[in-house]
Chains A and B, each alone.
Chain A
Amino acid sequence: MSMPFYVAPEQVMKDRADYARKGIARGRSLAAVVYADGILVAAENPSSTLRKVSEIYDRIAFAGVGKYNEFDQLRIAGVRAADLKGYAYSREDVDARSLANNYASILGQVFTHEMKPMEVEILVAEVSAEPAGDQLFHILYDGTVMDENRYTVLGGEAEAIATRLGELWSDGLDLQGAVRAAVAALGGPDRALGPDELEVALLERTTRRRAFRRVERHELLSLLPAVEATADPAGAPAEGGD
């Protein structure tokens, strides 16, 4: 009978983390931004049918980057958990924090116990009546949870994008300002992203029950800087944007 090789736990965890990070870095990144009238989630996504951002519940959205089938499974589990909880108790009892905790424990469990960690980073966002009450939970492949109340970036290039977004973000941005900041940060100084490469959705601070709304191509076109002005990475207000 052969003895298994001894591998230090530190090495196991490091290898798993490297593996997950590599998988995540292969895909495009995503940014979520709190603005005056809600939360904006913008993702670089060339597909118009396979979504990275979606609705979980009345005021809660989900976004994922990395391996599609893995974060989509998590998305559906989230919708199920939220709908079951709302049915069993009340719609008011469904909240982003509890969903984020659930996700964190699942990702943590998979990271330490399964053959392969999940190659995903996910976001659970909840809009409230005031911008100060908005919640962004950013959950990593190993179950680490980070909560933000201004903006957050998911994906392989998160740090560079977050630095750019930090320079462009300000308190009380309007929708156009938020879209331009997020898109400029995602694209960076060398690339101007057009509506066909973007998926944008909002959690609107409305009194309607369901706050989630997708920003379709024609509307997005009117929010982005005009084509001739897209060379400006800061997304400064451009003429003809309307």
Chain B
Amino acid sequence: MTMPFFSPPDDPGPDFAGLLRRSGLAPEAPTSDVAARMPITHATTVVAIRYADGVVMAGDRRATSGNLISHRAIEKVFPADRHSGVAIAGAAGPAMEMVKLFQLQLEHYEKVEGSALSLEGKANQLGQMVRGNLGAALQGLAVVPLFAGYDVLRGTGRLFQYDVTGGRYEESNFASTGSGSLHAGTVVKIGFREGLERAQALDLAVTALFQAADDDSATGGPDLVRGIYPTVATITAAGFEKVTEAEIAERFGDLIEVLAAREPAIPGRLPETGTDTGDDV
């Protein structure tokens, strides 16, 4: 691989996607309706919640192809750079490619320019990438990311939602996307308060995913048998940090205990019906 030099008018500047295009390495959009012809792996529910120190991002681990569960331990929450993260829902292949490109773009910009983009600049970059994927989205490969980060200039967590056209919508308190987002979003909406502590924010995120998994078949709940739990990360002044699996497992344990105590109607403890009582006698 030789060194890429450009004449001043052709120079892509700090734009990595532009550099890929000029180098002939840019991924191509599919030419036909892929989703209609074959099952495509899809990723589902992710949420982001602002709290006192920054933002919590969480995503379930299930990927589906039609009615099949194609992966049980897929990752949907990624660091974008030191102070921001990106979570994905939609067609898994293009979504992961977009995350990879986004990470590279932020790092490439930082290295070429000698300083990092602002959080707003990063959010806009991701919007452009989603819009760039519109061709693929029309072929059934839609990607809908969630972007959140700690704005070092403002000293607060901020979060952004997108639609398939690259529309960028900043949310003030929380955001969710994917097939279970309706349920997850409602749980977060009811539980959200200003200035949540870290533990409260994690509990809220975990509860939201649990309830989404309860009502949406494409969202995976905690897999107690295999020990697979949702991915949860915090983004604060200290940077992007994944919450350990042990801590998430503990929070799920607490949640399940609370839920079990509240509802007697979990499997095996269904209220007895008339015919059941008849059998018992």
Q: Which residues of A line the B interface, CB within 8 A?
A: 51, 54-56, 73, 76-81, 83-88, 98, 102-103, 106
Q: Which 5 A-B pairs have the closest CB atoms?
A: A77-B3, A80-B4, A81-B3, A79-B111, A102-B3
**Complex contacts, B19 vs chain A, CB 8 Å:** 80, 83-84
**Contact assessment for A54 and B114 in the assembled complex, using a CB-CB cutoff below 8 Å:** yes
**Complex contacts, A102 vs chain B, CB 8 Å:** 2-3
Residue of B nearest to A58 (CB): B107
17 CB contacts below 8 A, A to B, read A54-B111, A73-B5, A80-B108, A81-B2, A83-B19, A83-B107, A83-B108, A84-B1, A84-B4, A84-B19, A84-B20, A87-B25, A87-B100, A87-B104, A88-B1, A98-B1, A106-B3
**Complex contacts, B1 vs chain A, CB 8 Å:** 81, 84-85, 88, 98
Q: Residues of B within 8 Å of A, CB-based: how many? A: 17
B112 on interface, CB distance cutoff 8 Å: yes
**Complex contacts, A80 vs chain B, CB 8 Å:** 3-4, 19, 108, 112
A56-B111 CB under 8 A given contacts A84-B20, A85-B1: yes
**Contact assessment for A81 and B114 in the assembled complex, using a CB-CB cutoff below 8 Å:** no
**Complex contacts, B67 vs chain A, CB 8 Å:** none
Q: Which residues of B line the A interface, CB within 8 A?
A: 1-5, 16, 19-20, 23, 25, 100, 104, 107-108, 111-112, 114
A51-B114 CB under 8 A given contacts A80-B19, A87-B25, A88-B25: yes
**Contact assessment for A77 and B114 in the assembled complex, using a CB-CB cutoff below 8 Å:** no
**Contact assessment for A87 and B3 in the assembled complex, using a CB-CB cutoff below 8 Å:** no
Q: How far is the CB of A181 from chain B (nearest CB, A)?
A: 27
**Complex contacts, A81 vs chain B, CB 8 Å:** 1-4
> In the complex, A56 Cα to B110 Cα: how many Å?
11
> In the complex, A79 Cα to B105 Cα: how many Å?
12
**Contact assessment for A83 and B5 in the assembled complex, using a CB-CB cutoff below 8 Å:** no
